[in-house]
């Protein structure tokens, strides 16, 4: 097995345990061969990461944004995706260059109080993400099989055993499962886009940023929700770990090559995520906004209106099937991220099923409470709120990541260049400023 810590300078010598040790360096990488074989060997982690960029939380914010403001917020989806491509590339670099995931790197560098604060922030992000998955999966089960929302939320607790089954079959099998569900989501939305036939000129103009996004408070709230739903903080911890499942070797050249191929993998996967996120908003804008239904913010409302307004009987079913696939996929990545964060920050190992049931029970409780007190329609607002919470946690993951990959003492010759460091700090600054503005607007309202 290659040295798990070829470059990191702050690591304690009595703590050499690699990230996700059960699958560490378990996927063989060919020493030679064609570029396609090399790309195929590294393909997988990027698609696992992309799941977080199209989970049920994205649906709520994208549907609300498209129905309320038409195509205007497509610019936010594009900007968020470009930020995600950069940040995930940095997470890849940290994992490959140092043999440490982001949680381990934080534990090695910061004091215990700071680490506990970072761990708590990340756990809140994972719970918010889990909340979105519970609501999305429960809604999909209700729409497809007429299962009551509360019962559907309880059923989602069983997905802990789904992950165990997949992991026991091998990490490549887990990746194949994720990619298959991503393909289902992509096909469902490709068919809906074809049926909606949105005006190309208006769609393209939506990718150009508008000053309204910042000046309109309601639009800014949704924009930050989209940012939180797209650039997920726990994905940075996850990616820095799962990229180490490849047995790429310990030499500088081998690690530099691994960074290149893993970055290509994540960029291609996030391009698919961009298409799906944009497709959700475009369908909402083309079907709801243009027909005067500009207050559609609930996934259930979108389901019931989609087929009648599109004139395509199967449209609503495709919508619900894609939602269910999205919820199941998100289950896998959130569980792995939770394991990585808990082990990395606290050196605490829990069985996967126990970890999953713990976080899932925390997420199920508010769903049941809100449904019982305010009714099923209130879950949509809870879904959007979960994405804003996710966005508020972003600085606590982004700032340490950029700090580490810019440090030559930690990264060695694989440290990022000055121009890339400047761009990364600019992105971190934008995220912090947007979150401060949202917090100020919320407190002053």
Averages of pLDDT over runs of 10 residues in the chain (445 residues) are 48 62 83 82 90 74 85 89 92 94 92 90 78 79 85 74 70 86 88 87 90 81 70 85 89 92 94 89 87 74 80 82 83 77 79 65 67 62 66 83 93 92 90 71 61
- For residue 10, tell me if it sits in a domain: no
Q: Kindly state the greatest CA–CA separation across the chain.
A: 65
pLDDT of residue 363: 58
CA angle 57, 63, 64 (to 5 degrees): 95
- For residue 18, tell me if it sits in a domain: no
- For residue 368, tell me if it sits in a domain: yes
Query: Could you tell me the two tokens for 288?
Result: 């709801």
Query: Could you tell me the two tokens for 351?
Result: 């069985």
Query: Which helix H or strand E contains 439, and what residues bound it?
Result: helix 418-444
- For residue 128, tell me if it sits in a domain: yes
First to last CA, the chain: 56
| Overall number of domains in the chain | 1
The model carries a pTM of 0.86
Instruction: State the Cα–Cα distance between residues 143 and 138, nearest whole angstrom.
Output: 9
Question: Per residue in 169-184, is it b (16+ CB within 10 Å) or e — as a string?
Answer: eebeebbebbbebbeb
- For residue 294, tell me if it sits in a domain: yes
Instruction: State the Cα–Cα distance between residues 405 and 421, nearest whole angstrom.
Output: 8
pLDDT of residue 419: 94
Question: Per residue in 89-128, is it b (16+ CB within 10 Å) or e — as a string?
Answer: bbbbbbbbbbbbbbbbbbbbbbeeeebeebbebbbbbbbb
- For residue 14, tell me if it sits in a domain: no
pLDDT of residue 250: 84
Sequential DSSP letters for 14-69: T--PPSSTTTTT-EE--SSS-HHHHHHHH-SHHHHHHGGGSSHHHHHHHHHHHHHH
- For residue 12, tell me if it sits in a domain: no
- For residue 2, tell me if it sits in a domain: no
pLDDT of residue 325: 86
CATH number of the domain where residue 381 is located: 1.20.1740.10
Segments forming the whole domain that contains residue 403: 31-444
Find, among 65, 131, 284, 279, the residue nearest to 139 by Cα: 131
């Amino acid at each position: 097995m290659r040295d798990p810590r070829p470059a990191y300078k702050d690591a304690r010598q009595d703590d050499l345990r690699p990230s996700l040790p059960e699958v560490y360096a378990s996927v063989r990488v060919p020493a030679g061969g064609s570029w396609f074989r090399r790309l195929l060997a590294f393909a997988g982690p990027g698609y696992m990461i992309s799941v977080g960029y199209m989970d049920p939380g994205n649906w709520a914010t994208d549907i609300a944004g498209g129905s309320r403001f038409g195509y205007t917020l497509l610019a936010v989806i594009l900007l968020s995706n470009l930020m995600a491509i950069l940040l995930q590339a940095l997470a890849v670099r940290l994992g490959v260059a140092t043999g440490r995931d982001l949680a381990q790197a934080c534990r090695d560098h910061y004091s215990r109080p700071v680490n506990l604060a970072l761990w708590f922030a990340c756990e809140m992000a994972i719970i918010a993400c889990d909340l979105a998955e519970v609501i999305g999966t429960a809604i999909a089960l209700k729409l497809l099989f007429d299962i009551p929302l509360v019962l559907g939320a309880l059923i989602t607790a069983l997905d802990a055993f789904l992950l165990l089954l997949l992991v026991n079959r091998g990490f490549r099998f887990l990746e194949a499962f994720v990619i298959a569900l991503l393909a289902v989501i992509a096909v469902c939305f490709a068919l809906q886009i074809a049926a909606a036939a949105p005006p190309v000129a208006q769609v393209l103009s939506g990718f150009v940023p508008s000053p309204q996004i910042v000046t309109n408070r309601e639009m800014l709230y949704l924009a930050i929700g989209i940012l939180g739903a797209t650039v997920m903080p726990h994905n940075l911890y996850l990616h820095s770990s799962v990229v180490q499942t490849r047995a790429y070797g310990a030499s500088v050249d081998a690690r530099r090559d691994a960074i290149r191929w893993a970055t290509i993998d994540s960029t291609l996967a996030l391009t698919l995520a961009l298409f799906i996120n944009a497709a959700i908003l475009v369908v909402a804008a083309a079907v709801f906004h243009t027909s005067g239904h500009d207050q559609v913010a609930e996934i259930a409302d979108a389901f019931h209106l989609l087929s009648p307004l599109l004139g395509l009987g199967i449209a609503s079913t495709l919508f619900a099937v894609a939602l269910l696939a999205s919820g199941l996929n998100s289950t896998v990545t959130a569980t792995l991220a939770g394991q990585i964060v808990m082990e990395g920050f606290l050196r605490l190992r829990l069985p996967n099923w126990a970890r999953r049931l713990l976080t899932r029970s925390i997420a199920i409780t508010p769903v049941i409470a809100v449904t019982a007190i305010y009714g099923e329609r209130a879950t949509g607002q809870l879904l959007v709120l979960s994405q804003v919470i996710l966005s508020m946690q972003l600085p606590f993951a982004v700032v340490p990541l950029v700090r580490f990959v810019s440090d030559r003492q930690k990264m060695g010759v694989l440290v990022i260049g000055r121009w890339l460091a400047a761009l990364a700090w600019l992105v971190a600054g934008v995220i912090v400023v947007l979150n401060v503005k949202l917090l100020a607007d919320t407190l002053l309202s």
